[in-house]
Amino acid sequence: MLVVSTIRFAEKNDLERQKEIWRLCFGDSGQDMEIYYTQRYKARQTLLLLHRDEIAAMTTLLPVSLVTADGHKAKAVMVFAVATDPQFRGQGFASELMGFCDQYLNKNDIGFSVLVPAEKSLFGFYERYAYHEMFFMRRIRLDSKEIAELPGSGTEDFKLYPITAEEYNRRRNRQLEGRLHIAYSDEDLAYQKALSNMSGADLYGVEHGTVQGCAVVERIGDRDIVIKELLLPAAQLNGGLQIIAQQLKADVYRLRLPAFSGAPLGGSVESFGMLRVHKENEREIKAEDLGYLGIAFD
């Protein structure tokens, strides 16, 4: 007998089963998961696939905007936290969810979806569903001594201080003007701020004269820091890194910069996110535009 799965949006009574799948698939600490479910979760954005009336797989459609280099803003979603309970894997449930997402976005006049594969091997998987590489980042690892020795005028006149999610978003949007990028809501940035705070860091304003940049920082243990986003003009980038290292002490700093930023620092440019066009009449977006996604809540 053929058993047909069903897909629907989440309801109040589904929460504990969702958390169980989250723990099984992502292995996050209880605190990580609770931050998501208290700060960002919305049932009306969460798709559940049921098999024999049991929730077997899920994903979330986070509303975002795709902003082109000429400033055009299009409705999009980030397909976030695609997860199948391990006991149900190999039955095509993730594929069913992706197909449902396409139908839903077309029906609701949403032209684009983006996602960040959890590992490199998954880029090929999502290519089967018409996603292609579009968002890139420069990944760099520096120790505290290397940052201190960067050329430039040092940290004189630089300021670093925590800022609100709303202020961060304002600065972020300004720094990314003229670039193909994903724009987030203030609510999304508040969620990222909670993640950063949990790790012992924050969302920061980085200031030098009239230049107002921003940085997303998370700590991994006592001596390792991830700078998940740092947006500054090239002339202020080294000083910005130095003021971060001066005030947030660590042995190692792992940087994720836009692909168009930080070339003199070295590192490697890597694929980070993928894009799918769901409406035929949407404008052409080219990979050579080096799109920037940045924050992926990973």
CATH number at residue 106: 3.40.630.30
Residue-wise pLDDT for 151-166, tens only, equals 986 788 999 999 999 9
- As a whole-number percent, the residues of the chain with pLDDT over 70 amount to 95
- 91 inside domain: yes
115: nearest Cα among 128, 149, 265, 141:
128
pLDDT at 279: 79
Q: Within this chain, do residues 172 and 202 fall inside the same structural domain, yes or no?
A: yes
Residue 25 lies in a domain: yes
CA atoms of 3 and 268, how far apart (whole Å):
47
Calculate what percentage of the chain has a pLDDT beyond 90.
89
pLDDT over threshold 70, residue 180: yes
In a domain, residue 104? The reply is yes
How many domains does one find in the chain?
2
Write down the pLDDT at residue 222. 87
On whether both 83 and 150 belong to a single domain, the answer is: no
88 and 179 part of one domain: no
Answer yes or no: do 219 and 99 share one domain: no
For the entire predicted model, the pTM comes to 0.94
Residue 297 belongs to some domain of the structure? no
Rounded-to-integer distance, Cα 65 and Cα 45, Å: 15
Same domain, 126 and 142: no
- In this structure, the strands spanning 211-219 and 224-231 are antiparallel
Q: Are 265 and 275 within one domain?
A: no
The average confidence (pLDDT) of the chain is 94
What single string gives the DSSP state of each residue in the chain? -PPPPEEEE--GGGHHHHHHHHHHHH---HHHHHHHHHHT--GGGEEEEEETTEEEEEEEEEEEEEE-TT--EEEEEEEEEEEE-GGGTTSSHHHHHHHHHHHHHHHTT--EEEE--SSTHHHHHHHTTT-EEEEEEEEEEEEHHHHHT-SSSTTTTEEEEE--HHHHHHHHHHHTTTS-EEE--HHHHHHHHHHHHHHT--EEEEEETTEEEEEEEEESSSSEEEEEEEE--HHHHHHHHHHHHHHS--SEEEEEEETTS-GGG--EEEEEEEEEE--TTSPP--GGG-BB------
Examine the domain organization and report whether 154 and 220 are in the same domain.
yes
Separation of alpha carbons 256 and 146, rounded Å: 16
Q: Are residues 194 and 70 in the same domain?
A: no
121 and 234 fall within a common domain: no
Domain for residue 252, yes or no?
yes
pLDDT digits (tens, 9 = 90+) for 220-233: 988 999 999 999 99
Same domain? For 159 and 130 the reply is: no
pLDDT in tens, 59-75: 999 999 999 999 999 99
Q: Does residue 283 surpass a pLDDT of 90?
A: no
In a domain, 55, yes or no: yes
Mean pLDDT of 6-19: 96
- Whether 294 maps to a domain, the answer reads no
pLDDT at 122 over 50: yes
1 pLDDT above the threshold of 50 = no
Does residue 93 lie in a domain region?
A: yes
Domain that holds residue 210: 137-269
Kindly state whether residues 11 and 97 are assigned to the same domain: yes
User: 287 falls in which pLDDT band (50, 70, 90)?
Assistant: low
Q: Which two tokens stand for residue 15?
A: 């929460």
Q: Is the pLDDT of residue 284 over 90?
A: no
- Whether 107 and 154 map to the same domain: the answer is no
